[in-house]
Amino acid sequence: MYKASPKRKVILEKSKSVREKETRLNSNFFAKHLKRIYPIALQRSTSSSFSLSSISLSLSQNSTDSFATDSTSTLEQKISLALGLISSPRRRETYVPKSIPQQQELQLSQDLSSDEPKRCNWITKKSDEVYVMFHDQQWGVPVYDDNLLFEFLAMSGMLMDYNWTEILKRKELFREAFCEFDPNLVAKMGDKEITEIASNKSIMLQESRVRCIVDNAKCIIKVVKEFGSFNSFVWGFMDHKPIINKFKYSRNVPLRSPKAEIISKDMIKRGFRFVGPVIVHSFMQAAGLTIDHLVDCFRHEDCVSLAERPWRHI
């Protein structure tokens, strides 16, 4: 049997000591940078362990460089290649993990980067900006101003011919035509003013609709004499407290309600026109008499807070 000389033994022991030291250093270096490497180009195995061969395979499969790693590459070379990929902007932009389909990756990226608040689900990406703003700023906010209540009542009546988006786009034209919805001024409009408004192609209201708004203004004048304000009349049906609903799904939000039917019947008796239960309920939703934002909508809590203020009806 071959026996090494004492001098040879010393050399072998020193060599072994150096290799063990290098292995420890490389292991620490690898652990230090492992967290940086994994999100870019390293796949976890089913046993949740990492191997040198798996790193090499992952890097070589995803590299566009002119060289590739092989089985003889040292650990330092593999780590150097991995860090090179991390520091390369081109690599970060183009890499997509094979375990995640590209379409899902894109959707995930959009979801993470989106700062949009959660809204009622009838507000979609295709919704017009004017409708989104109406939802975010006005719809469901309790209203106590006579002119604004009259405006919402008039616009709710227009829902028989148009949707909210079409109405809101012409809101400023309506305000100009109907004197900022001041009931006192609208009630005084005669045939000449009515015909002029109806013939305005930008406003797009039939003469019967214009006359309806004028007649409702006259009814509001009578209500003000009896109740002191249109606000007091409308909120009196609610005991000056809005109905706070907690609907989770849009299919639960009704088109009409028992309270809307009560208000509708009373208004019809007083001579109001185009105030059926569906229109009245739309009016109640817009003017915050009923809060119908879905519970997971960011505006639900906001409108509830406004409704619960002690000075709400003053």
Binding residues for Zn(2+): 120, 135, 293, 297
Say how many Å lie between the first and final Cα of the chain, rounded: 108
C-alpha angle 22/24/29, rounded to 5°?
Answer: 90
Taking residue 78's Cβ as centre, other Cβ atoms within 10 Å add up to 20
Binding-site residues: 120, 135, 293, 297
DSSP element (H, E) containing 109: helix 102-113
| Residue 7, SS3 per DSSP | helix
Torsion of CA 263, 265, 267, 268, to 10 degrees: 160
Beta carbons of 270 and 249 less than 8 angstroms apart = no
Q: What is the token pair recorded at 20? A: 């063990």
Cβ pair 146, 229 in contact under 8 A:
yes
